[in-house]
Amino acid sequence: MATLLYANHRIRVNSGICRLVKRTLKGPGTILASKNAEVSPHDVLGHYKLTAGFTKVNLANELNVRPLDVKRYLKKEVGRTVFKGELLAQKKGLFGTSQIIAPTDSIFESLNDKTGEATLRLIPKDVSLTSGVFGVVQDIDAVRGEVSIKCMSTEVYGILGTGSEKEGFMNVISGPGDLVNASQITTAHRGQILVAGSLVMEEAIKKALTCNVSGIICGGLNMDDYLSMAVSLVPSKRVGTEIGISLIATEGFGLLPIGEDFEEIFGSHNNKFAIVNGNLGMILLPSNDPDSILGCRKVSLPDNQALGARPELGISEIKIGLKVRLIWPPFMGTQGVVKNIDETPTTLDSGISTYMLTIDTKTRKMRVPYSNVEII
C-alpha cells in the first residue's frame, strides 16, 4: 500500500470574486455617479479640488545672503501667485547672477526673516475621479465623497506584507527577477502600485515614500527592513498598521523572483487600477472584462463589506499532476508540477530518511524531499 504524503496547501490566486471597490474624492468636490448605474474604468464619478500642500525654499542659502537681507532680492511679493519657471528672487554679483526659479505653481505664502526660508503653498488642482473598474454603483455617500462599486475581481495573496489599504494604477517597472534600486523610482510614480522585481531594499522604499508611491509588490524583502516597518510577524496583529505605503513580498524573505503564477497576472494588469493591502498580504485586481458587469448584477453584497481576509493554510495530499512551490533553498520559490512520488524513502546526506518527489519546472527536473514543497 502506497504511503500517503501531505503538504501545506496555500491559496495564492482566488479569481471570480465579487468585491466592493470604494472610490473617494480626495478633496472638496461633487459626485456625479448614480446608484445602480453601470460604470467602465474611464467613467468620471465626480470632480474635486486636490490641495497638494506646500513646499519650502531657503532663499538665504540659495542666494548666500543673511536672512534679513533676503527681501532686497525678491522679484515676487509675499502673498502673490507664482507660476512654475517664474523668477522668485535674484542676486547679481561680481562673479555672475544667482537666480531662484519657482519650482511649481504656488502662492508665495510667507518668508521667515530668521531663517530666510520661503513657504510656497501649492495651488489646488481640479481632478476628475474615475471609476477604474467595470462594475455597478451600489452605494453613494455624499458626506464622505465616497462611491461604492460592485465589481468582479481576482485576489492575489503574497507571503508577507505591511501597510494599510492603498489604491492606484499598477506599473510593472522591472522583470520578476530584477533588483530594483532607488534611482528607478521617481516622482512620476506618485500614486502608483509598483511591481518591482525580486527585492526592494531600504533606500528604494524610502525613495518610494518620498515620491508618494501607493504600494510596492516584489518577490522578497530584507527581514531587517521588514521588521523595522511591521509591528509583528503575525498578520492579525498588523491590521490597521500604517507606514505611508503598502508593501507585499509575494515569495518571502530574501532575493526571490516574483512567482511564475503572478508574473503573467501582473503583466496583464499593467497600467490598470488595483488595490493593495500589505497587512492582509493581498492585491485586488478588478476584472478588465466589460462582460463581468453581468456577474456583478447577480451578486448581493452588504454596503460595509470588508476587502477580504488572508486564506488560512490548509493541508492536502500530494498527488501526481499537482502544481507545487518549493519552500526551501537553493530553489526556494521555484514552481513546478509533481511528476513522480517515490514509493520508498531515500536517506539524504544529512542522514534523514524521507520520501522524494520529482518536480518538473520550466528549466529542469529535480528531486526534492516532499517536506520541501507546498501545494498551490
pLDDT in tens, 12-28: 999 999 999 999 998 89
What pLDDT was estimated at residue 243?
80
Question: Would you say residue 176 lies in a domain?
Answer: yes
Is residue 95 domain-shared with residue 168, that is, in the same domain?
no
Mean of pLDDT values over 78-106: 88
**Would you say residue 1 has pLDDT above 60?**
no
- pLDDT class of 294 with cuts at 50, 70, 90: very high
The pLDDT value recorded for residue 117 is 93
Domain count, the chain: 3
* 105 lies in the same domain as 184: no
List the CATH number of the domain containing 166.
Answer: 3.50.30
Give the whole-angstrom CA distance, residue 95 versus residue 99: 13
pLDDT at 238 over 70: no
Query: Residue 2: is its pLDDT beyond 70?
Result: no
pLDDT value of position 236: 61
CA distance 108 to 105: 10
pLDDT at 301: 85
pLDDT reported for residue 25: 93
Is residue 81 domain-resident? yes
Q: Is the pLDDT of residue 200 over 70?
A: yes
Assess whether 263 and 323 both reside in one domain: no
Query: What's 62's domain CATH number?
Result: 2.40.50
Q: CA end-to-end span of the chain, whole Å?
A: 26
Final residue in a domain of this structure, among 251, 280, 309: 280
Bigger pLDDT: 4 vs 95: 4
Cα-atom radius of gyration of the chain, to the nearest Å?
26
- What lies within 8 Å, CB to CB, of 279 at 6+ separation is 161, 162, 163, 164, 235, 238, 239, 240, 241, 246
Q: What is the pLDDT of residues 213-224, one digit of tens each?
A: 999 999 999 988
Domain-embedded: residue 275: yes
Per the structure, the complete domain to which residue 334 belongs is given by: 318-375
**pLDDT at residue 240, as a whole number:** 58
| Domain end marker among 123, 151, 182 | 123
Average pLDDT across the chain, whole number: 91
In a domain, 232, yes or no: yes
163 found inside a domain: yes
- 231 three-state secondary structure: coil
Average pLDDT over residues 354-360: 96
Confidence bin at 354 (pLDDT 50/70/90)? very high
Give the pLDDT confidence score for residue 104 in this predicted structure. Answer: 83
- Mean pLDDT across the stretch 3-7? 92
DSSP structure string for 246-310: EEEEEEEESS-PPPHHHHHHHHHTTTSEEEEETTTTEEEEE---TTHHHHHHT----TT-----P
Higher pLDDT, 373 or 298: 373
**Looking at the domain assignment, is residue 289 inside a domain?**
no
d(CA 51, CA 65): 32
pLDDT, position 6: 96
Confidence of residue 255 (pLDDT cuts 50, 70, 90): very high
With respect to residue 105, please indicate whether it lies within any of the assigned structural domains. yes
pLDDT digits (tens, 9 = 90+) for 130-186: 999 999 999 999 999 999 999 999 999 999 999 989 999 999 999 999 999 999 999
Per-residue pLDDT, 103: 84
pLDDT band, residue 376 (cuts 50/70/90): very high
- Report the residue count for the chain: 376
CATH number at residue 339: 2.30.30.30
d(CA 73, CA 151) in angstroms, rounded, equals: 57
Q: Mark which of 73, 107, 123 sits at the end of a domain.
A: 123
Predicted pLDDT of residue 233: 62
Q: Is residue 274 in some structural domain? A: yes
Q: Identify whether residues 194 and 104 lie together within a single domain.
A: no
Task: Specify whether 113 is located in the same domain as 186.
Answer: no
pLDDT, mean of residues 326-351: 93
Residues 189, 100 share a domain: no
Report how far residue 356's alpha carbon sits from residue 72's, in angstroms, rounded to the nearest whole number.
Answer: 81
pTM above 0.75, yes or no: yes
